[in-house]
Amino acid sequence: MSNEHKVAVLMGGFSSERDISLKSGQAIWKALKRKNINAVLFDPKFRPLTQLIDEKITRVFVALHGTFGEDGHVQGILEYLRIPFTGSGLASSALAMDKIQAKRIFKSVGLRTPGFLTLKGNERIDITRNINIFPAILKPNSEGSSLGVEKVEKPEDLEQARRKVIEFGEKMLLEKFVSGREFTCAVLQLGLSEAPVPLPIVEVIAPDGNYNFHNKYEGDKTKYICPPKIPLDVIRSIEESSVKAFKTLGCRHWARVDFIWDENGEPEILELNTVPGMTEKSLVPMAASKDGILFDDLVLKILNNASLETRFYNAH
């Protein structure tokens, strides 16, 4: 990337994942500085995005997790401002963030994902008709980092769980609980004419199988194994499903797909993240390093793909 470019690392923002986003943004910014890129930190919580124009920003690295940053909002604004950015565009960001819609799309193309129901606010569901979904996981439809996730062992526990989860949004996903091994597979697309490729798979082994916010970011008892000891056909299934999910949602540049596998049958997709974490504990850098891609090089490769999706506006 030439020196005339000025890069803004978007971080922080408004979501409940703000603190993680700040860590991701700092790590990315430091990597760019080490690569002699003219980069600045930019937190849209405190500054309107129109100031990107005032600062003559020519590229944006999106490190905003969760609401506003990962749901298509900021992507739409950057398209309007005509500033090329990293990661998926407006539509695919919005689809991936909407867990329910993403799961419907995955199922429609034959990708496996645990059974689910949609809940809105205090809406009642017919428990007798849906008894097989329990035990289940109740989660907000549009949050990440395992925030607001509650396990519901039996139908009578649903209301108590709902009262906790509703704090993160009216729309909730009730997903059948699958007990098994957890894996994640990052996908990189280095150039829009290039085919997306999977990075080495990471197995996540959390204390008591509970990969919650604390065990992701605050505790030190979660183990990560890359590559995991699993049969070759399971590796191929995860890699192929990851790339297919990436393409099906229309993603670009990079993403991370999370799986559960009960060691019977095929691994099942839990969700796809279009702005994965980039902290020192994050899984995409861990996988990339196994492929010989150092953190700073990974950041630069993603930045070099910064682009706009739509072509029909006049330039500034």
Catalytic center residues: 17, 145, 217, 256, 258, 271, 273, 277
Cβ atoms of residues 244 and 75 within 8 Å: no
Q: Residue 307 carries which DSSP code?
A: B
CB neighbours (10 Å) of residue 229?
Answer: 6
Q: 196: cis peptide before it, omega within 30°?
A: no
Q: How far is CA 246 from CA 17, 137, 186, 261, 295, in A?
A: 23, 24, 10, 19, 22
Q: What is the dihedral of CA 291, 269, 77, 56, to 10 degrees?
A: -10
How many Cβ atoms are within 10 Å of 167's Cβ, its own excluded? 10
Contact (CB, 8 A) for 211 and 229: no
**Lookup result for tokens 């099942």:** 268
Closest to 47 (Cα-Cα) out of 18, 21, 10, 83: 10
Q: Is 280 exposed, middle or buried (0-12, 13-18, 19+ CB in 10 A)?
A: exposed
DSSP conformation class of 199: P
Secondary structure (H, E, C), 90-110: HHHHHHHHCHHHHHHHHHHCC
